[in-house]
Amino acid sequence: MCYMMSKQQYLNDQGAHWHPHLMFFVSGAAAKSWCADLPGSPIMAADDPEERATILMLWVGNWSDGSPAPLIAHWPHLRSTSAFVCGRQLRASI
């Protein structure tokens, strides 16, 4: 697990200082079981075939200093205090 909550975080050259998020590194193809990349889901997935792993990213609503993060246009529901993923309630901010 990786906490990417700081405003100074560096994701990559394209994302630079993206959004605050948590990253989970799970063996195998885990996107479907985590309901990643589904409409309304705050979880995004990236497959890493070389490592035989899935990187799951859970967007959170606040930076590590407590200030609100910018809204992600395709996830407007994340401004609420919780989201439902696969029928389960998730906290959307820390």
How far, in Å, CA of 51 to CA of 59, rounded? Answer: 23
Alpha carbon distance 35, 66 (integer Å) = 27
Number of C-beta neighbours around residue 11 at 10 A: 14
Contact in structure between 20 and 5 (CB atoms under 8 Å): yes
Q: pLDDT digit string (tens) for 3-43?
A: 888 888 776 676 666 788 898 999 988 888 888 988 878 88
Domain that holds residue 77: 2-91
- Whether the pTM exceeds 0.75: the reply is no
Question: 89: exposed, middle or buried (C-beta count within 10 Å: 0-12, 13-18, 19+)?
Answer: exposed
β strands within 28-87, DSSP E = 43-48, 53-59, 82-85
Number of domains in the chain: 1
